[in-house]
C-alpha cells in the first residue's frame, strides 16, 4: 500500500478524504493525531471525521458551500477540515486577529455560509452575525454556544454522512488558503485536493520526511492549517496539535511526545534553546529534546553561522525552506532530512521536486545565470488564483507561471539566493539597496538575536535604512557600535542611519515579521527597550 519512498501508493490521484480512508484501512491502529488532551489512531480519526461531516450535512452544509473556521489550534481544526472536504465543502480558516472589518470582508469575499467557532470568539462573532443569518450554521466546538444552535457532539446526528450522489474530484476546490496580508488584505488562494496532495508528496520525497517521524507545526492555526497534517496524510506519520507560542511548553511537548520534525521560524528555535538549558555547549538541563531530527525553518533568512550553531546545539539537521500560499507550501529547500541532501550556506535552497522555477527581468525575459530578477514558479501544487479577486489573479498568474515578487539569483549549481522583495527595495542617494543585505550582516553579530531593516525618511538625506534589533541577554551593543560593525562590512550608504533596540522584533501570527507595525511606529534613535 506504500511506495518505496514511504508515500501512500496512488496518493497523487486521491482526495484528502480518500487518503484518510485508506490510512484507516491499512494503519488503523497506528497513532495519527496527538494532542495534550487526546490521541487518535487513523481509524479513530476517520470515525471522528465522519461524525463531524454528518453534523455539517445535518445543519444544511452542501458540496460547494464554504465553511469558515474561527477556532484555536485544537484537534477539531483537523477533524473539521477533513470533514468539510469529505462532503465536498470548502474549508476557509478565519484570521481572528484581524480587524473586524477585515473579518467581515473575508466572510463576504469567500462567500462563507457556515462557521465553526469557539466560544472565546463570541465577541468577534457578534459583530458579523448579519453575514450569517442561519443560526443552525453556526457550529460551536465545545458544546452549546451563545449565538448558534449547533455544536460538535449534539444529539440526534448520524455517525456518518450520507454521500449518495457525491463524486469527489481531486481538481475541485476544497480550501481557501489565505495569504498573510503583508502586502494588503489577505487573499484566499483557491486550493484543490490535487494542490495539497502534490505538495505533500513533493516535500515528503524531497525533504526526507519519514513515516516514523512525529511532526509538530508551529505556525498559526489560520496560517495554512493543511500543513499541520498533510504530509502525515500521505505517509501515515503521527502529527502533534499544540496550541502555544511558549518555547518552554514546546520544549516539554517535544520531550513528552518525542517529536522528531518541527516547522517554525528561526527565532523560535533560538528561544527553545534558552528554555531547554542549551544556550551554551552541553546537554539540555530542562528537558530532553534529543528526539529532534530535523528543524524546518521558514519565514526568515538563516545565515551559515546561525545554521551551524543550531545544528551543534540541537544535534539535529537544520533545514531552511521557502514556500508561499500560492505554492500550497514549501517549494525550495536548502538541504533536508536525507544524509546526502544538497545545501549551500546562505542560499534559500534548491527547487523541490514537482516545481519549476525561473528568474525573469522586468519585461518577463529570463535572466542570465547569476543575474538577479523576479522568481516565477509553476507546478501541479500551484493554485490557479484568488477567490473573487480578478485583479490580483491576473497580475500574478500569467501563462501558467506565478510571479512571486521575490527578487533572487540562481547560481551555477542551481541554488537560489534571495535578494529581497521588489516592493521593499530602498533607493538611497539614487542607488538601489536591498534590506536583506543589511540584515544578513547584522545577524552575523554575536549579540544580535533578530533584526529587520525597513525604509525611513530623513529631511536632508531622503530615504534611509532603519534597523530594528533585538539582542541576546546581557548585550552591550549600542547604535554606534552596530553602525560601525556594518561600516566595516558594507558600503557607507548601506549603513543604517537609525538603529533601534526593541525587546522583540514584532511578528505576525504566522511567524513573519510584522513590518506594518514597525513602519507605523515613529522613528526613535534613542529607543532601547532592553
pLDDT tens figures, 282-334: 455 568 899 999 999 987 777 777 788 888 889 999 999 999 999 999 999 99
DSSP 223: S
Say which residues have a Cβ less than 8 Å from residue 171's Cβ, sequence separation at least 6. 192, 193, 194
- Output 424 or 35, whichever has higher pLDDT: 35
Residue 281 above 60 pLDDT? no
pLDDT of residue 477: 96
Say which residues have a Cβ less than 8 Å from residue 11's Cβ, sequence separation at least 6. 19, 197, 200, 201, 234
pLDDT of residue 434: 82
CA distance 50 to 88: 13
Say which residues have a Cβ less than 8 Å from residue 226's Cβ, sequence separation at least 6. 81, 175, 177, 191, 196, 328, 329
pLDDT of residue 341: 80
Lowest mean per-residue pLDDT among 289-298, 387-396, 507-516: 507-516
Yes or no: say if 428 and 455 are a contact pair by the CB < 8 Å rule: no
pLDDT tens figures, 437-474: 899 899 999 999 999 999 898 866 778 999 999 999 89
pLDDT of residue 225: 95
Say which residues have a Cβ less than 8 Å from residue 300's Cβ, sequence separation at least 6. 265, 266, 267, 511, 512, 513
Residue 257 above 70 pLDDT? yes
Lowest mean per-residue pLDDT among 1-15, 299-313, 353-367: 299-313
CA distance 231 to 236: 8
pLDDT of residue 267: 79
pLDDT of residue 278: 56
- Output 46 or 96, whichever has higher pLDDT: 46
3-state secondary structure of 334: coil
Span 163-171, mean pLDDT? 88
**Grid coordinates belonging to 211:** 513515516
pLDDT of residue 21: 97
pLDDT of residue 181: 60
Span 50-79, mean pLDDT? 96
309 burial class (0-12, 13-18, 19+ CB within 10 angstroms)? Answer: middle
Q: Nearest to residue 443, comparing CAs of 470, 423, 417, 419?
A: 470
pLDDT tens figures, 114-127: 999 999 999 999 98
pLDDT of residue 55: 97
Yes or no: say if 287 and 320 are a contact pair by the CB < 8 Å rule: no
Residues making up the chain, counted from first to last? 530
Span 197-206, mean pLDDT? 96
- Output 234 or 219, whichever has higher pLDDT: 234
pLDDT of residue 514: 85
The single residue listed with the C-alpha cell 513528552 is 256
pLDDT tens figures, 15-30: 999 999 999 999 999 9
- Assign residue 468 a region (left: φ > 0; alpha: ψ between -120 and 50; beta: otherwise): beta
pLDDT of residue 185: 72
DSSP line for 408-461: EEE-TTS-EEEEEEGGG-EEETTEEE-HHHHHHHHHTSTTEEEEEEEEEEETTT
CA distance 222 to 77: 10
Residue 161 above 70 pLDDT? yes
β-sheet bridge partners, residue 319: 296
Highest mean pLDDT among 242-251, 363-372, 373-382, 500-509: 373-382
β-strands 112-117, 138-140 pairing: parallel
pLDDT tens figures, 77-89: 999 999 999 999 9
Span 78-102, mean pLDDT? 93
Residue 280 above 60 pLDDT? no
pLDDT band at 236 (very low <50, low <70, confident <90, very high): very high
The per-residue pLDDT of the chain, averaged, comes to 90
pLDDT of residue 460: 63
Span 379-388, mean pLDDT? 96
3-state secondary structure of 385: coil
CA distance 381 to 200: 9
Q: Taking the CB of residue 139, how many other CB atoms lie within 10 A of it?
A: 27
pLDDT of residue 46: 98
Torsion sign over Cα 81, 84, 90, 96: negative
pLDDT of residue 184: 57
**Grid coordinates belonging to 230:** 498533510
Q: How far is CA 112 from CA 12, 109, 185, 379, 386, in A?
A: 28, 8, 17, 28, 15
Amino acid at each position: 500500500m506504500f511506495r518505496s519512498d514511504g508515500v501512500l501508493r496512488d496518493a497523487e490521484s486521491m482526495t484528502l478524504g480518500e487518503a484518510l480512508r485508506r490510512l484507516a484501512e491499512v494503519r488503523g491502529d497506528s497513532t495519527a493525531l496527538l494532542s495534550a488532551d487526546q490521541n487518535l489512531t487513523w481509524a479513530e480519526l476517520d470515525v471522528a471525521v465522519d461524525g463531524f461531516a454528518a453534523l455539517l450535512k445535518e445543519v444544511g452544509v452542501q458540496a460547494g458551500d464554504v465553511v469558515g473556521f474561527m477556532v484555536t489550534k485544537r484537534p477539531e481544526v483537523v477533524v473539521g477540515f477533513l470533514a468539510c472536504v469529505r462532503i465536498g465543502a470548502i474549508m476557509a480558516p478565519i484570521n481572528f486577529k484581524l480587524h473586524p472589518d477585515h473579518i467581515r470582508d473575508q466572510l463576504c469575499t469567500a462567500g462563507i455560509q457556515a462557521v465553526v467557532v469557539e466560544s472565546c470568539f463570541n465577541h468577534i462573532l457578534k459583530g458579523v452575525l448579519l453575514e450569517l443569518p442561519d443560526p443552525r450554521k453556526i457550529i460551536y466546538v465545545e458544546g452549546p454556544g451563545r449565538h448558534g444552535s449547533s455544536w460538535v457532539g449534539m444529539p440526534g446526528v448520524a455517525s456518518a454522512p450520507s454521500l449518495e450522489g457525491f463524486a469527489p474530484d481531486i481538481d475541485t476546490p476544497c480550501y481557501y488558503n489565505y495569504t498573510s496580508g503583508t502586502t494588503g488584505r489577505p487573499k484566499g488562494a483557491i486550493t484543490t485536493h490535487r494542490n495539497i496532495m502534490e505538495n505533500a508528496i513533493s516535500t515528503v520525497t524531497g525533504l526526507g520526511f519519514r513515516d516514523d517521524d512525529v511532526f509538530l507545526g508551529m505556525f498559526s492555526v489560520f496560517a495554512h492549517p493543511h500543513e499541520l497534517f498533510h504530509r502525515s496524510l500521505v505517509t501515515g506519520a503521527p502529527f502533534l496539535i499544540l496550541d502555544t507560542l511558549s518555547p518552554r511548553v514546546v520544549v516539554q511537548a517535544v520531550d513528552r511526545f518525542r517529536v522528531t520534525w518541527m516547522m517554525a521560524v528561526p527565532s523560535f528555535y533560538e528561544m527553545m534553546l534558552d528554555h531547554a538549558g542549551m544556550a551554551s555547549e552541553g546537554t539540555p538541563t530542562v528537558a530532553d529534546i534529543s528526539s529532534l531530527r530535523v528543524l524546518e525553518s521558514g519565514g526568515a533568512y538563516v545565515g551559515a553561522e546561525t545554521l551551524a550553531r543550531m545544528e551543534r546545539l540541537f544535534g539535529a539537521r537544520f533545514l531552511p525552506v521557502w514556500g508561499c500560499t500560492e505554492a500550497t507550501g514549501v517549494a525550495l529547500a536548502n538541504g533536508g532530512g536525507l544524509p546526502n541532501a544538497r545545501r549551500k550556506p546562505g542560499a534559500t535552497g534548491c527547487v523541490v521536486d514537482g516545481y519549476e522555477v525561473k528568474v525573469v527581468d522586468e519585461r518577463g525575459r529570463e535572466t542570465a545565470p547569476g543575474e538577479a530578477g523576479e522568481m516565477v514558479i509553476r507546478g501541479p501544487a500551484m493554485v490557479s488564483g484568488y477567490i473573487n479577486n480578478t485583479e490580483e489573479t491576473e497580475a500574478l498568474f500569467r501563462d501558467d507561471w506565478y510571479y512571486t515578487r521575490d527578487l533572487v539569483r540562481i547560481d551555477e549549481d542551481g541554488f537560489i539566493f534571495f535578494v529581497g522583495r521588489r516592493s521593499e527595495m530602498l533607493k538611497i542617494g539614487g542607488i538601489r539597496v536591498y534590506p536583506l543585505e543589511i540584515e544578513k550582516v547584522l545577524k552575523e553579530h554575536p549579540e544580535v538575536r533578530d533584526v529587520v531593516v525597513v525604509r525611513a525618511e530623513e529631511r536632508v538625506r531622503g530615504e534611509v535604512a532603519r534597523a530594528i534589533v533585538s539582542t541576546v541577554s546581557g548585550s552591550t551593543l549600542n547604535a554606534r557600535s552596530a553602525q560601525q560593525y556594518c561600516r566595516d562590512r558594507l558600503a557607507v550608504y548601506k549603513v543604517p542611519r537609525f538603529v533601534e533596540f526593541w525587546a522583540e522584533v514584532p511578528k505576525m501570527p504566522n511567524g513573519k515579521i510584522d513590518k506594518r507595525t514597525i513602519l507605523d511606529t515613529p522613528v526613535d534613535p534613542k529607543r532601547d527597550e532592553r
